[in-house]
Amino acid sequence: MTDPLAQLLVIWIGVFIAVYAAKATKLTPVLFYLAVGAVAVNTGILPHEAHPFIRGFAEIGIIVIMFALGFEESPVNFLRSVKRSWGIAFFGALAPFAVAYSVADYFWGDTNMSMMFGLAMTATAVSLTMVSLKGEGLARSAAATGIMTSAVLDDIASLAAVAVLVSVATGEGSVSLPDVAWIIGKVFLFFALITFVGAWVFPHERPKFLRRLPFFEQFAIRRLFRASGAEMTTLAVLTLALAAGIASHQFGFHPAIGAYMAGLILREEYFDMPATQENNQFENTKRIIDSVAFTWIGPVFFVQLGTMILFDWDIFVSVIPQTLVLTTGLFLVQVSSAGLAARYTGGFTSRESLMIGFGMLGRAELAFVVMDIAYVQNSILNDEAFYTLMFTAFWLNVAVPITIAWWKPYYAGEKEIFGEKEP
């Protein structure tokens, strides 16, 4: 099939099927998007080499997805929870990175590949966890708050690591210490620029040193939203996401990094409209962004990534040992490191701590972005490494709803295991 519009039609039909399958199994739709792509390419419905139109569409999809994920987070709630959740994020990310790096180094002995393994297996799929917690009636629990904040911290740290390590891994020849220092410097410069815009340029109330500069007054984001009207707000925020993505790319990073940060610095109060406004501008915009990101553009990225999975029995069999070791190792260290950190640095109860450990198992959007960068765009991963990561992510995601449902009676105090009474 060579017609790009026909390919897009097939992909969208596959997205329908994937969403229904995800609802039936309570798993993340991402897994089924990948499966749709894999089945379609191996049956000859979709080509292994996508049309440039589809590749461009998929690139827009991941930019919008990462923007939507950042847009979901409340900067205020996020900052309030950082003090309690920093340990979960740090130890719950460091341990999986170390295990994934060690497993890749043992089996393949390639430093660049090992770094990509560590990056791909570091960030938590918070969307999958929150869906699972919501299904068990625990979406507003203390454990859910701890998981959400820790996952956001992990994502931000992982994005910074992606910016540094991908640049190192794709560098030609040896990379000197000044080269690495320059890359790290660019990371700090970019994040400082985004922070400056979010903290001092966008807000209507600015510090005194900026009030004296009339030039900045026109950039108050609330003023822009009110002037453009509710019907143009979605275009305004998507333009911001794309501009941040382009800026990120100019710094040498993946555009998804900038898009995520653009979503994170937007606050709900920026969308306040006059009292006569009937609809909630923020909720309407968020609903449209989520629809674009998770329903009709974003899934194209994952289906396209799924077309990289060619059914090869020899490869499937050859990566069984790697997948088994990596999945088992990550399961054990993720639950234990995040759980212990929650207990002893966050002050959560034992029941809450173990629930947080289970909730940090999932791997989705950011993991597959790293795989795409490392396997599709830069050929850092070989076929066996790519399949190992894919299968490991699958089994870890399957474990999330299963372990949460199993642990719920203990978490709710319906069953005793630690002999600890919930306060």
pLDDT digits (tens, 9 = 90+) for 72-95: 766 665 566 667 777 888 888 899
DSSP letter assigned to residue 380: -
For 180-200, what is each residue's pLDDT tens digit?
677 667 767 877 787 777 766
Query: What are φ and ψ of residue 123, in 5° steps?
Result: -80, 140
- Token output for 167: 């640049």
Residue showing tokens 């229904």: 20
Judge whether residue 103 has pLDDT over 90.
Answer: yes
- Whether 80 is in a domain gets the answer yes
- Token output for 287: 């609903």
The three-state (H, E, C) secondary structure of 138-160, written as one string: CCCCHHHHHHHHHHHHHHHHHHH
- Whether 421 is in a domain gets the answer no
- Whether 418 is in a domain gets the answer no
Q: What is the pLDDT of residue 272?
A: 63
- Please report, for residues 127, 136, 285, 340, the alpha-carbon distance to residue 405 in angstroms, rounded to integers and kept in the order given: 16, 7, 33, 20
43 is in which domain, residue-wise?
Answer: 4-411
- Token output for 5: 């519009």
Domain with residue 75: its CATH number is 1.20.1530.20
- Is 15:36 a contact under the CB 8 Å cutoff? yes
Judge whether residue 206 has pLDDT over 80.
Answer: no
Which residue from 184, 204, 128, 10 is spatially nearest to 368, judged by alpha carbons?
128
Q: What is the pLDDT of residue 14?
A: 94
Helix axes 177-196, 142-169, angle to 10 degrees: 140
- Whether 416 is in a domain gets the answer no
- Whether 285 is in a domain gets the answer yes
Q: Give one DSSP letter per residue of 188-214, joined into a string.
A: HHHHHHHHHIIIIISSSS--HHHHT-G
**Whole-model pTM above 0.85?**
no
Judge whether residue 135 has pLDDT over 70.
Answer: no
For 243-278, what is each residue's pLDDT tens digit?
888 888 787 666 877 887 788 778 777 776 554 455
Over residues 198-220, the mean pLDDT reads: 57
- Whether 383 is in a domain gets the answer yes
d(CA 268, CA 196): 18
Coil, helix or strand at residue 328: helix
Domain count, the chain: 1
For the chain, state the CA radius of gyration: 22
d(CA 242, CA 236): 10
- Whether 339 is in a domain gets the answer yes
Q: Picking from 103-112, 125-134, 166-175, 261-270, which range would have the lowest pLDDT averaged per residue? A: 166-175
- Is 187:164 a contact under the CB 8 Å cutoff? yes
d(CA 123, CA 102): 17
- Whether 166 is in a domain gets the answer yes
